[in-house]
Amino acid sequence: MTDFDPRYLLSIFLRRFPLFLLTAVLIFAGFAAAAVLLPPTFTSSARILVESQRIPQSMVQSTVGGGASERLRVIQQRLMTRENLLEIANQFRVFADRDDLSPTEMVQEMRRSTGFRQVALGGGRGGGMALLFNVAFSAADPRVASQVAGEYVTRILEDNVRIRTDRAANTYGFFEQETQRLGGELTAIESEIVEFKRANRDTLPDTLSFRTNQLERVQQRQQLLDRERADLRQERKLLEEMREDPASLVEEERQLTEPERALLQLQQRRRMRLAILSETHPEILGIDTRIAALERIIEQDAEMREATADERNNRQISERLSRIEQQIEVVDTRLAQLDDELVQLERREAELQRSIAETPNTQMALTALNRNYSNLQRQYDTARGKLAVSATGEQLELQQQAERFEVIEQAGTPESPDKPDRLMILMMGAGGGAGAGIAVIALLEFLNKAIRRPSDIVATLETQPLAVIPYIYTDAELRRRTVIKWSLITLIVGGSIAVVTLTHIFYMPLDLLMRKLMEMTQLDTVLQLIRSRISF
């Protein structure tokens, strides 16, 4: 004989059926009372369609970053703040019949009664992803539910416009400030470059070739002046030697006088004419006569020259010395000029060499300044371009041509309550009561160690009985057991009804009590989850 005996289990169930029925009835009665006493809750919902930008993004780019889903979550968190919820609750008197609620409890109730849901649709404008945003609010008064849901929608639309316009304005303001800052830095670095060039104009790389040519010309000029100075010094040396030896200043050869030159000419002519004439020829005789006259004149002049020779030599030496002194003075003046010019050329050469040597350092510093200027110029041009884009984006937001929220379904006044789901509660009560009754029977049978089957005797005594005689109840015992059973059932049912009634009247209304119990056990969350699953 096996332990699993359907007839035995059926007999146990029938024997404890009153207890099963009592447990099931009590639990079902509680659920039924909850289904009847729980106040109806009306839910009003609205749907918002998130439309993509109307103007193609390839032509005009919006400056508002972030996706619509992220922005909706931000708006949702802002909307669900304590201040907003209390303001909406007081504005529409959501809890007018519940004066015992504290502000914190009101905020919790508002959040619990509010529902948000996003649905991605796809196929938006320009191939983007469109979103459908559902806003719902539940309340005991359908008009209040509709008003609060409509207020949610209004605030969501206003927050979206404010967020987008503020972001676009902030973007424009940022790039405007950045443009001004970069413009100021460009002006400053331009002034710095100008001042640097002014302070280092002698070492600028732009004039390097010019200064190199100047250096070559200065060096060539120095060479010419050195040669000229050497020549002048040689000339001065000769002049000094002539000044130290005055006798050398006397002319070695005296200049011929006019009679002497005429005599030479006549003598030459006579020789030429003798080649063809005789000495007695009148022409020859005439020439001789003239020659004799000139010789007498020359002799007279020679006597006179000899008398004045010493005087003439002294005068000539004096004149020569004077001219030599003048020439030495001229040479000294020129040498002084050459020395001054050479000093200036050497100074100029040193300056040019220094400037040429400093040119690489100047070029490095100037290159760094120009590089910073170029970088700033690129940043400035980029900022100017982004400023123009941000200005267009701001106009796009102000004219509401960018991504926007459109209400495709307003929050209407619900005609029938959606909570509580009374049929669902009754079904859960029936199922829970049956399960609890079976569990009570199973628990009692598990705790009951009495021997009721032959298998129990075998398991306990480890021997096989010859026969099993069951206990036989008398009619009086059966009647007494029946009376006790039904009296107990009546007492439990009546007591339960009395306890529920007194609790509802003197302690707390059953709807509030059930609501708190559901909050404590999180049963409302489970019911909402089940309802959402069923609705999908």
Reported as a single tens digit per residue, the pLDDT across 464-480 is 666 666 666 677 877 88
What are 131's strand-pairing partners?
Answer: 50, 120
Q: What is the mean pLDDT of residues 11-29?
A: 74
Structure tokens at 520: 């404590």
Q: 105: closest CA among 89, 129, 121, 117?
A: 89
Give the residue with greater pLDDT, 304 vs 325.
325
Give the residue with greater pLDDT, 222 vs 7.
222
pLDDT, one tens digit per residue, over 492-515 is: 777 777 777 766 666 666 666 666
Rounded Cα gap, residues 62 and 400, in angstroms: 11
pLDDT band of residue 426 (cuts 50, 70, 90) is confident
Q: Is the pLDDT of residue 435 over 80?
A: yes
pLDDT, one tens digit per residue, over 322-378 is: 887 888 888 888 888 888 988 998 898 888 888 888 888 888 888 888 888 888 888
Exposure string of 111-140, with b = 16+ CB inside 10 Å and e = fewer, is: eebbbbeeeeeeebeeebebbebebbbbbb
Rounded Cα gap, residues 94 and 139, in angstroms: 7
Structure tokens at 351: 């300056």
Q: Is the pLDDT of residue 58 over 50?
A: no
pLDDT band of residue 420 (cuts 50, 70, 90) is low
| For the chain, percent of residues with pLDDT exceeding 90 | 1
Indicate the angle between helix axes 142-199 and 282-398, nearest 10 degrees.
170
List Cα–Cα distances, 446 to 1, 441, 449, 457, in angstroms.
20, 8, 7, 17
Q: Is the pLDDT of residue 159 over 70?
A: yes
The mean-pLDDT minimum among 194-208, 484-498, 508-522 falls in 508-522
The mean-pLDDT minimum among 159-168, 421-430, 450-459 falls in 450-459
Residue 407 backbone phi and psi in degrees, to 5:
-80, 110
What are 119's strand-pairing partners?
Answer: 132
Q: Give me the pLDDT at residue 253, please.
A: 43
Q: What is the mean pLDDT of residues 190-196?
A: 87
Q: Give me the pLDDT at residue 124, please.
A: 46
Most confident range (mean pLDDT) of 159-173, 284-298, 323-337, 430-444 is 323-337
Most confident range (mean pLDDT) of 57-61, 148-152, 172-176 is 148-152
Q: Is the pLDDT of residue 35 over 80?
A: no
Q: Give me the pLDDT at residue 459, please.
A: 63
Q: Is the pLDDT of residue 461 over 70?
A: no
Q: Is the pLDDT of residue 66 over 80?
A: no
Question: Is-above-0.85 flag for pTM?
Answer: no
Give the residue with greater pLDDT, 307 vs 91.
91
